[in-house]
Amino acid sequence: MSATSYSGVVSQTKLLGSNLNCSTHRRFPTSCSLSEGSQDLEKSTSQMFLSSCSSTSDKRNGMLGRSRHCSPIEKRNPVGQTFCSVGVCTHSGVDVESNLHATEERVGVLLLNLGGPDTLDDVQPFLFNLFADPDIIRLPRLFRFLQKPLAKLISVFRAPKSKEGYAAIGGGSPLRKITDEQADALKMALKAKNMPVNVYVGMRYWYPFTEEAIQQIKRDRITRLVVLPLYPQFSISTTGSSIRVMQNIFREDDYLSRLPVSIIKSWYQREGYIKSMADLIEKELASFSKPEEVMIFFSAHGVPVSYVENAGDPYKDQMEECIYLIMQELKARGTFNEHTLAFQSRVGPVQWLKPYTDEVLVELGQKGVKSLLAVPVSFVSEHIETLEEIDMEYKELALESGIENWGRVPALGCTSSFIMDLADAVIEALPSATAMSTSRNTSEAVDQDPMRYVIKMFFGSILAFVLLLSPKMLVAFRNKLF
Q: What is the pLDDT of residues 440-473, one digit of tens each?
A: 543 444 445 555 555 555 555 555 444 444 444 4
- Most confident range (mean pLDDT) of 20-29, 139-148, 346-355, 402-411 is 402-411
Alpha carbon distance 328, 332 (integer Å): 6
Per-residue pLDDT at 6? 47
Residue 131 contacts residue 137 (beta carbons within 8 Å): yes
Alpha carbon distance 51, 82 (integer Å): 7
Mean of pLDDT values over 225-249 = 96
List all residues 6 or more positions away from 334 whose beta carbon is below 8 Å from its beta carbon: none
Alpha carbon distance 113, 238 (integer Å): 8
Beta bridge partners of 408: 374
Per-residue pLDDT at 451? 58
Alpha carbon distance 298, 114 (integer Å): 21
Per-residue pLDDT at 239? 97
pTM, two decimals, is 0.75
- Does residue 143 carry a pLDDT above 90? no
Q: What is the pLDDT of residues 361-390, one digit of tens each?
A: 999 999 999 999 999 999 999 999 999 999
Residue of 242, 236, 183 whose CA lies nearest to 211: 242
- Does residue 40 carry a pLDDT above 70? no
Q: What is the pLDDT of residues 268-280, one digit of tens each?
A: 999 999 999 999 9
- Does residue 391 carry a pLDDT above 60? yes
Alpha carbon distance 114, 203 (integer Å): 5
DSSP string, 358-397: HHHHHHHHHTT--EEEEEETT-SS--HIIIIIIIIIIHHH
Q: What are phi and psi of 237, to 5 degrees?
A: -80, -10
Alpha carbon distance 267, 231 (integer Å): 8
Per-residue pLDDT at 440? 52
Per-residue pLDDT at 459? 52
Residue 289 contacts residue 368 (beta carbons within 8 Å): no
Residue 72 contacts residue 78 (beta carbons within 8 Å): no
* Choice between 133 and 88, residue whose per-residue pLDDT is larger: 133
Residue 205 contacts residue 151 (beta carbons within 8 Å): no
- Does residue 162 carry a pLDDT above 60? yes
Beta bridge partners of 225: 108, 261
List all residues 6 or more positions away from 268 whose beta carbon is below 8 Å from its beta carbon: 232, 233, 318, 319, 321, 322, 325
Per-residue pLDDT at 454? 53
Per-residue pLDDT at 295? 98
How many Å separate Cα 475 from the centre of its chain? 33
The DSSP code for 258 is T
Mean of pLDDT values over 256-268 = 97
Per-residue pLDDT at 244? 94
Q: Which amino acid is at 383?
A: H
Residue of 61, 377, 108 whose CA lies nearest to 205: 61
Per-residue pLDDT at 95? 41
Quick one: residue 21, left, alpha or beta (phi over 0 = left, psi -120 to 50 = alpha)? beta
How many Å separate Cα 205 from the centre of its chain? 12
Alpha carbon distance 24, 204 (integer Å): 26
Per-residue pLDDT at 242? 95
Q: What is the pLDDT of residues 46-85, one digit of tens each?
A: 333 333 444 434 444 443 333 444 433 443 333 333 333 3
Residue of 354, 353, 348 whose CA lies nearest to 153: 348
Q: How confident is the model at residue 96 (pLDDT cuts 50, 70, 90)?
A: very low
The DSSP code for 415 is -
Q: What is the pLDDT of residues 330-341, one digit of tens each?
A: 999 999 999 999
Mean of pLDDT values over 169-192 = 98
Q: Which strand (E) or helix (H) includes residue 113?
A: strand 107-113
Per-residue pLDDT at 141? 81
Count of CB atoms within 10 A of residue 310's CB? 11
Q: What is the pLDDT of residues 341-367, one digit of tens each?
A: 999 998 777 899 999 999 999 999 999
Q: What is the pLDDT of residues 196-212, one digit of tens each?
A: 999 999 999 999 999 99
- Does residue 44 carry a pLDDT above 80? no
Residue 9 contacts residue 202 (beta carbons within 8 Å): no
Q: How much is the mean pLDDT over the chain?
A: 80
Alpha carbon distance 190, 194 (integer Å): 7
Residue 26's Cβ-side half-sphere holds a number of Cα atoms within 13 Å equal to: 20
Count of CB atoms within 10 A of residue 347's CB? 16
Alpha carbon distance 161, 155 (integer Å): 10
The DSSP code for 356 is B
Q: What is the pLDDT of residues 277-327, one digit of tens each?
A: 999 999 999 999 999 999 999 999 999 999 999 999 999 999 999 999 999
Where are the strands (E) in 195-334, listed by range? Answer: 198-203, 224-229, 260-263, 295-301
